[in-house]
Structure 1
Amino acid sequence: MKPCVEAFHDPRTSTMTYVVYETDGSPCAVVDAVLDYEPHAGRLSTRSADRVIRFVTEHRLQVEWLLETHAHADHISAAAYLRGKLGGKIAIGEHIGAVQTVFERIFNLDPSAQAGPAPFDHLFVDGETFRVGAFEGRVMHVPGHTPADVAYVFDGMAFMGDTLFMPDVGTARCDFPGGDARKLYESIGKLLSLPPRTRLFACHDYPPEGRETRWEATVAEQRAANIHVRDGVTLEQFVAMRTARDATLGQPALIIPSIQLNIRAGVLPAAEGNGVRYLKLPLDAF
């Protein structure tokens, strides 16, 4: 039996959250959960995360893992919120430390000043295996978009974060601190070396006009049709394309609130003396 996958699409951030499980009543993992944020009001809500909670509750699932593929720059992680409601361990790749170092400096954050539980319960190393009930997962380090990206590989499927999008959209940007187009090409090669029928699940979809949202494609489909990195595209061609394209991209709309929370697994800062929590807005830093 292969794992079941339930996908939850957040249209505001074009993000996909996944629940991976065996059957009703079994253990499960949640991948890349979303906490809603209204930037004009500075207001958080839990609409998207509560959809996941309802599914988990209705199917009597027990959350073992809250898996993050990387520190996202386009949405706030709901991992800490879900941990408080459903339990489970928040995990990410061990190279998150490099990302934390860069952004703790930009936001002038005190790495020793944490609110509540430790941000991440577990840091995965490349090749590490873990269990979700009867299923074994394997961690694949896939740097390039950021230094800390990982994919979670199960039997016949992989959750690959932002490394690849749908074939008609292409690949992730590489212009964040520590990003590297050469490394991304190598990481994509690792994913596309999986068996051809492996289902690859993306964290986002930005569909061209006229196409409905999609979130999975097989290795074979990516190798045949990905507009950036299909079979036959060389490393030099990819790096030239990615470098030129990244130079035209603006910053993600939610990068400032997202990054300073996501490098801490979505754990919110402590309330100040007036009972209000605050995020920082660095000027001329991005």
Structure 2
Amino acid sequence: MGQPQVQGFYDAITGSIQYVVSDPATLSCAIIDPVLDFDEKSGATATRNADRLLDYVAEHGLKVVWILDTHPHADHFSAASYLKEKTGAPTAIGEHVRDVQQLWKEIYNWPELPTDGSQWDRLFAEGDIFAIGSLEGRVMFSPGHTLASITYVIGDAAFIHDTLFMPDSGTARADFPGGSASALWRSIQDILSLPDGTRLFTGHDYRPGGRDALWESSVAKQRESNSHIAKSASESDFVTLREARDRTLPMPKLILHALQVNTNGGRLPEPESNGRRYLKFPLDALPGAAWS
């Protein structure tokens, strides 16, 4: 299968983990789920997180051959566009991003948004194969958290985004537009059917109980001790648990900011006549979410 070198980079502000996944034999690497810094209070953007990844790449003599997102994120901006400018590497995401674009195009009343996925260099389908040097990567379609979520299986490692968290944190929410707890259950079963020793790398950690941030587990550990899976003997049990939990959760504070950027390949809005960029988001577009 091959064993990639995996380096995680935790962003404490959003609880996100970004990854540099490299092939020790060729020093080729992929960057997965990079974060573009954004402060919603001031509207400021920065590239500190993305530059940390570039510093690591340079320090270890790596060559970036892919910039990969697992899905259009609802809690941070993607730095994919910025990193493509810096490295020239192609960007990719799952092909069902087109469904997410169609959905959010209506929510944003954004008629000029292309909904063909052309903002990325490649759209991956279930079972697609790609290379990171001598390592083989395979794509699993993993919907539920979003319509477009995918898992990247690279050698003995799988990047499972917001499907499973660390075992003490359970599973991802499934109440975003296009989400489905039933689909999430089936995606989790597909992930847990990978070999027991497969290393699983999650997309977020919210440090329950104030523990240090963690992001690596295994199929065996998740199957044995995931706090939501252990309570769910069936899909029906899981759906009941997940939907009850989701009814208590406020929407991510950046969802309406982030999806406007991330459905457009991580591109910020074009500057207007005064040279400034502006985000537009709707009022009362996501009814039913708990208030924080």
Task: Tell me if structure 2 keeps the 8 A contact 1:19–1:30.
Answer: yes
Please give the TM-score of this superposition, normalised by the length of structure 1. 0.95
Task: Tell me if structure 2 keeps the 8 A contact 1:17–1:31.
Answer: yes
**For the structure 1 residues 19 and 81, does the alpha-carbon distance in structure 2 shift closer, same or farther, using more than 3 Å as the test?**
same
Alpha-carbon distance, 1:112 to partner: 4.8
Matches within 5 A, 1:191-206: 191-206=191-206
Matches within 5 A, 1:118-137: 118-137=118-137
Q: Identity across aligned pairs (percent)?
A: 49
Which blocks of at least 5 consecutive residues in structure 1 are unaligned? none
Task: Tell me what 1:153 maps to.
Answer: 153
Task: Tell me what 2:278 maps to.
Answer: 278
Q: Which amino acid is the alignment partner of residue 214 of structure 1?
A: L
Task: Tell me what 1:59 maps to.
Answer: 60
Structure 1 consecutive aligned stretches of length 4 or more whose deviation exceeds 6 Å: none
Task: Tell me what 1:165 maps to.
Answer: 165
Question: What's the CA shift string for 1:195-245, capped at 9, x where partnerless?
Answer: 111110000011211421100111000000001113862111100001111
Alpha-carbon distance between aligned partners in 2 of 1:262 and 1:113, rounded to the nearest angstrom: 13
Q: Which amino acid is the alignment partner of residue 153 of structure 1?
A: V
Alpha-carbon distance, 1:113 to partner: 6.7
1:38 aligns with 2:39: yes
Alpha-carbon distance, 1:110 to partner: 3.1
Task: Tell me what 2:212 maps to.
Answer: 212
Task: Tell me what 1:249 maps to.
Answer: 249
**For the structure 1 residues 253 and 245, does the alpha-carbon distance in structure 2 shift closer, same or farther, using more than 3 Å as the test?**
same
Query: Which SS does the other structure have where 1:272 is aligned?
Result: coil
Question: What's the CA shift string for 1:241-273, capped at 9, x where partnerless?
Answer: 011111111110111111110011111121111
Alpha-carbon distance, 1:60 to partner: 2.0
Please give the TM-score of this superposition, normalised by the length of structure 2. 0.94
Task: Tell me if structure 1 keeps the 8 A contact 2:26–2:133.
Answer: no
Q: What is the aligned-residue RMSD (CA, Å)?
A: 1.7
Alpha-carbon distance between aligned partners in 1 of 2:48 and 2:224, rounded to the nearest angstrom: 37
Task: Tell me what 1:183 maps to.
Answer: 183
Alpha-carbon distance, 1:54 to partner: 0.6
Alpha-carbon distance between aligned partners in 2 of 1:269 and 1:237, rounded to the nearest angstrom: 42
**For the structure 1 residues 231 and 285, does the alpha-carbon distance in structure 2 shift closer, same or farther, using more than 3 Å as the test?**
closer
Task: Tell me what 1:15 maps to.
Answer: 16
Task: Tell me if structure 2 keeps the 8 A contact 1:93–1:125.
Answer: yes
**For the structure 1 residues 24 and 153, does the alpha-carbon distance in structure 2 shift closer, same or farther, using more than 3 Å as the test?**
closer
Question: What's the CA shift string for 1:102-137, capped at 9, x where partnerless?
Answer: 1111112234579xxx52111000000000111000
Task: Tell me if structure 1 keeps the 8 A contact 2:16–2:205.
Answer: yes
How many residues of Structure 1 are paired with residues of Structure 2 in the alignment? 284
